[in-house]
Chain A
Amino acid sequence: MGISDEEETIMAQLTRRTLLTTGSLAAAGALAGPWVRRAHAQGAPLKVGLVLPYTGVYAVLGESITQGMELVFARENWTVAGRKIEMIKEDDEMKPPVGIRKTEKLIDSDRVDILTGPVHSGILMGMRDKVHGSKTILIVSNAGADAISRDRCSKWIFRTSFSNWQPNQPMGGWVAKNVAKDVFITAPNYQAGKDQLDAFKETFVPAGGKIVGEDYPKLGETDYAPYLTKIRQSGAKAVYAFFSGTDAVNFVKQFDQFGLKATVKLTGAGFLTEPDVLPAQGKSALGVITGHFYTPLLDNPTNQRFVKDFREKFAGKMPDGFACQGYDTAEVILRALKAVNGNTQDKDKLVDVIAKVEFDSPRGRFRFDPKTHNVIQPFIYIREVKETPLGLNNVPIDKVADVRDPGTGCTLPA
């Protein structure tokens, strides 16, 4: 016979009630959703993406930068403004196709709140448009391509490291006044190398300096003998060189082996004698004078604490400029996030806040140039490699204050 009319009505009522309840709950949920979600986002982890080389010739830089960041985040117990800090590291292998791919992953798939890196300027230039177009905040923690602070600047991109111009420009005048006026300049044969030397020339020539020779060995050269012979021939009293990594080791070692140090003073951009190459250079680096925004021997209290904490955390390893870059990047992130109470949804506000961040960094008073979003180097230190109780180190012997990139062609906000 089926169900009676009575039963049917009860069932109908139950069904209707269930539908209504479910419906109202759903509607309420939909209306309340945005609020609930936002409150949730406050507790959601802060995702910081790192596009750095962890394999290949510059892996040591990637490691140093990461360690600088880890030091700061660990100090804050990996929390800021009630949110847990999640660091997502991606190896770009110093290859642009891989770097771009990893950037896409971090932005599209991991949805990082803040992106940092890279080491390779080519990767930086390649990711620039994606970052700008997707309005992702990028804090450049190494790559020095001048263009990022000039014609390809973006309101979403900040740089805590340096522009290639910064360590070199003050050195020109200093070398002309304090070392020699007849100088042979050399750098690897690529645009970044030439840019660095151009910056040097900017203040070298007006200070009365004379370039008696100029040579651009290929990147990755292992035998500098022919160039060293030419240097001797030129009669230069000093050499200004930009080399980094294995090039710096090979050049400085061979410069010494050829007995040139007796008659020619070797100077250069800081990367020539940074801690990543100094141990391999050994005594050959003694007396080499370079310009850099950092040396672990700086005597300000922030740096002394930085060096002590870093060595404690990383088995006695001495921090270098790259670790300082990582440290500053993490500090910028922390301070900006605290200032907006952890709200990363309002990106425009976050960008404004980042631009205004100011704090005591191991390198001095840290602040961004609002015109270019590039760091204003509180000082470029002129350092000489000497034996210290801590081994071979870059000892500061002089400094130039307030070095800011000219930022030609940059019109922010862009």
Chain B
Amino acid sequence: MSFPAEIFAQALNGLSYGVLLFLLSVGLTLIFGMLDVVNLAHGSLYMLGAYAGLTIIAFAGSFWLALLVAPLAVGLIGMLIERSCLRPLYRRGALDQVLLTFGLIYLFEDLVKWIWGGRIRSIPPPELFSGSVTIWQATVPSYRLFVIAFGLVMAVLLWLVIERTRLGAIIRAGVFDAEMTAGMGIDIDRVFTMVFGFGAALAGLSGVIAGPIQSAQPPMGATILVPALIVVVVGGLGSLKGSLAGSLIIGQAETFGKAWLPSASMLMIYVVMAAVVVLRPQGLFGRPLR
């Protein structure tokens, strides 16, 4: 492989990895930005999406059905969590939310293990995308190309919803000033629940999408959390643009780091984040620190 072809191949790898990170973190940044909630259970919701997807495929045989239904199921679970456990804690501050969501991590890990067993599970890619494709000397699984396309389309859709719809306007207003928004007669409680559910659904969706590439196991909720948090911080809390930019950049940094500086691969993501926080604390597109 020639050097430019090698760069192209790795860049393509970095792109698919970055898009996965985007799908993983966008729900978290919305919840952070809008509700100011430290949702450590985000990884668990991702895991529930993967397992729900598994079950739907096992029963109905269709990846596409799983892609549609699993996020809805996880979204519902998210709304339930918000109504029952989180709402009493809004007034109480970040620490209590940390303890609660930490408890949810333990709870979900054991529940998943109880229901599905502790074995490693895997989601097969859909028939349509189960082969590989060669572009300019780089052989890529066609599924990864699908992930890239899907992720970018999701990004555009989300942007449209948030910037161009009434719901989006309410969300943006709520992110900016929840009290004022409530004061304008909007049932802010219901909006919070819906946004949390929406963020949860996005987490569940990313669980299904990542399924064919990664494997699923009950402890995965805690493992996936830190990369998600890092992307959110680098991109800027509550910023859709930031989530996309942050994940794409981290995706490339991680990938080229693995290719050229392998011994630093454990450190890479933390160094990038530390640099961003020190040099530009609000992240790439976040609001200047409040």
Q: How far is the CA of A45 from the CA of B223 in the complex (A)?
A: 41
Query: Taking the complex as formed, is B265 at the interface, i.e. its CB lies under 8 A from any CB of chain A?
Result: yes
The answer to whether residues A230 and B259 also contact, given A189-B265, A223-B17, A225-B17 and a CB cut-off of 8 A, is yes
Q: How far is the CA of A236 from the CA of B216 in the complex (A)?
A: 30
Contact A215 B119 (CB under 8 A): no
The answer to whether residues A229 and B10 also contact, given A189-B266, A249-B215 and a CB cut-off of 8 A, is yes
Chain A residues closer than 8 Å to B125, beta-carbon distance:
257
Contact B265 A59 (CB under 8 A): no
The answer to whether residues A56 and B219 also contact, given A227-B258, A229-B13, A250-B214 and a CB cut-off of 8 A, is yes
Name A63's closest neighbour in chain B (CB-CB): B118
Complex partner residue of B119 from A229, A259, A279, CB under 8 angstroms:
A279
Name B117's closest neighbour in chain A (CB-CB): A60
Contact B113 A282 (CB under 8 A): no
**Which size class do B's interface residues fall under?**
35 or more
Contact B122 A218 (CB under 8 A): no
Contact A233 B1 (CB under 8 A): yes
Query: Taking the complex as formed, is B55 at the interface, i.e. its CB lies under 8 A from any CB of chain A?
Result: no
The answer to whether residues A229 and B138 also contact, given A280-B119, A280-B120, A282-B124 and a CB cut-off of 8 A, is yes
Name A248's closest neighbour in chain B (CB-CB): B120
Q: How far is the CA of A63 from the CA of B120 in the complex (A)?
A: 14
Contact B120 A253 (CB under 8 A): no
Q: How far is the CA of A344 from the CA of B125 in the complex (A)?
A: 56
Q: Which of B31-39, B78-86, B139-147, B161-169 interfaces with chain A?
A: B139-147
Q: How far is the CA of A253 from the CA of B123 in the complex (A)?
A: 11
Min CB–CB distance A194 → chain B (angstroms): 12
Min CB–CB distance A306 → chain B (angstroms): 21
Q: How far is the CA of A259 from the CA of B266 in the complex (A)?
A: 27
Complex partner residue of A60 from B1, B13, B119, B143, CB under 8 angstroms:
B119
Name B6's closest neighbour in chain A (CB-CB): A233
- Please encode chain A, from 199 to 225, with 1 for each CB lying within 8 Å of some chain B CB and 0 for all others: 000000000000000011110111101
Complex partner residue of B213 from A218, A223, A260, CB under 8 angstroms:
A223
Name B125's closest neighbour in chain A (CB-CB): A257
Q: How far is the CA of A220 from the CA of B139 in the complex (A)?
A: 24
Contact B118 A253 (CB under 8 A): no
Query: Taking the complex as formed, is A226 at the interface, i.e. its CB lies under 8 A from any CB of chain B?
Result: yes
Min CB–CB distance B265 → chain A (angstroms): 5
Chain B residues engaging chain A, CB cutoff 8 angstroms: 1, 6, 9-10, 13-14, 16-17, 20, 109-110, 113, 118-122, 124-125, 131-132, 138-141, 143-144, 213-215, 217, 219-220, 223, 254-256, 258-259, 262-263, 265-266
26 CB < 8 A contacts A-B: A55-B110, A57-B219, A59-B113, A59-B118, A63-B118, A189-B266, A216-B263, A217-B262, A220-B223, A223-B13, A223-B17, A223-B214, A226-B13, A226-B258, A227-B259, A229-B9, A229-B138, A232-B139, A245-B120, A246-B214, A249-B122, A257-B125, A257-B144, A258-B141, A259-B132, A279-B120
User: Top 6 closest A-B pairs, CB basis?
Assistant: A225-B13, A257-B141, A280-B122, A259-B132, A226-B258, A249-B215
